Amino acid sequence: MHTLDKGLRSALENTILAARSAAEEAAQIVLEALGVGEKVPFPHLNDAERTLRRKLRSHGRQLGDTQYEDTKQTIGALTEEVAYQHWHRMLFARFLAENDLLMDDDPVSPISLTIEECNDLAPSLGARNGWDLAARYASRMLPQIFLNDSPIFSLEFPIERQKVLEQLVSNIPQEVFHASDSLGWVYQFWQTKRKKDINDSGVKIGARELPAVTQLFTEPYMV
């Protein structure tokens, strides 16, 4: 396998930086719509949405978000994880597909699928589109990376925000998915802006900042 040349690395860096920004904006929108950080649930939420909100709040606290005495809660850590997982599930789906490793869920004779084939199958399988179906298959194949029972995968990004992410992952050159060092660069580029923000802020480096600054440690949900 080859490694990425300078041009491909630069293009990949630009894509990953744009993807993190777009994914975190989308994640913040859906979390705020559910009132995850608010004191009490919004009155218009139905029972399923209230249950999801409660699970997300609990998960956010596990990640390090703070619940105050008045029960308001920060959502910074949760926003980062939602963004990371939703983007990387699509990205890994394309990695698998480009290497003929994205398999359907036939328990007897699974077959490999392209993203285009997933798009054709999506309507009959209850998926929003090919990327949604491909991401589901990737989750099933990589359960230690993408926890299918996690409440974050019950969230759906606004359509216009989701399309931005789909376009970004679609535009990554095919050669990237056959390079031996691509995943390492992906992780490093994902942390680039966070690392710069922390360094520029001058804050004391704690457990929350350590993964981004050193890149020797990862968040628990990262590969």
Domain boundaries, the chain: 6-185
Measured distance CA(137)–CA(169) in Å, rounded = 16
pLDDT at 195: 74
Measured distance CA(107)–CA(92) in Å, rounded = 21
Instruction: Dig out the tokens for 11 from the structure.
Output: 């293009």
Look-up of token digits 């084939």:
117
pLDDT at 217: 43
CB 95 within 8 A of CB 117: no
CB 57 within 8 A of CB 71: no
Cα 93 to the center of its chain, rounded Å: 12
Beta bridge partners of 179: 2
Instruction: Dig out the tokens for 42 from the structure.
Output: 């919004």
Instruction: Dig out the tokens for 152 from the structure.
Output: 């974050």
pLDDT at 94: 98
CB 30 within 8 A of CB 157: yes
pLDDT at 162: 98
> Is 0.85 topped by the overall pTM?
yes
Instruction: Dig out the tokens for 132 from the structure.
Output: 């949604």
Dihedral-angle region of residue 204 (phi above 0 means left; psi in -120 to 50 means alpha; beta otherwise): beta
Instruction: Dig out the tokens for 218 from the structure.
Output: 């990862």
Query: How far, in Å, are 31, 164, 178 from residue 161 at the CA level?
Result: 14, 5, 28
Give the helix ranges, DSSP H, for the chain.
6-33, 47-63, 76-98, 115-121, 130-141, 159-170, 182-201, 210-214
pLDDT at 1: 75
Instruction: Dig out the tokens for 169 from the structure.
Output: 């992952």
Output the tens digit of pLDDT for each of the chain's 223 residues.
799 999 999 999 999 999 999 999 999 999 999 999 999 999 999 999 999 999 999 999 999 999 999 999 999 999 999 999 999 999 999 999 999 999 999 999 999 999 999 999 999 999 999 999 999 999 999 999 999 899 999 999 999 999 999 999 999 999 999 999 999 999 999 999 877 767 666 656 555 555 554 554 455 556 5
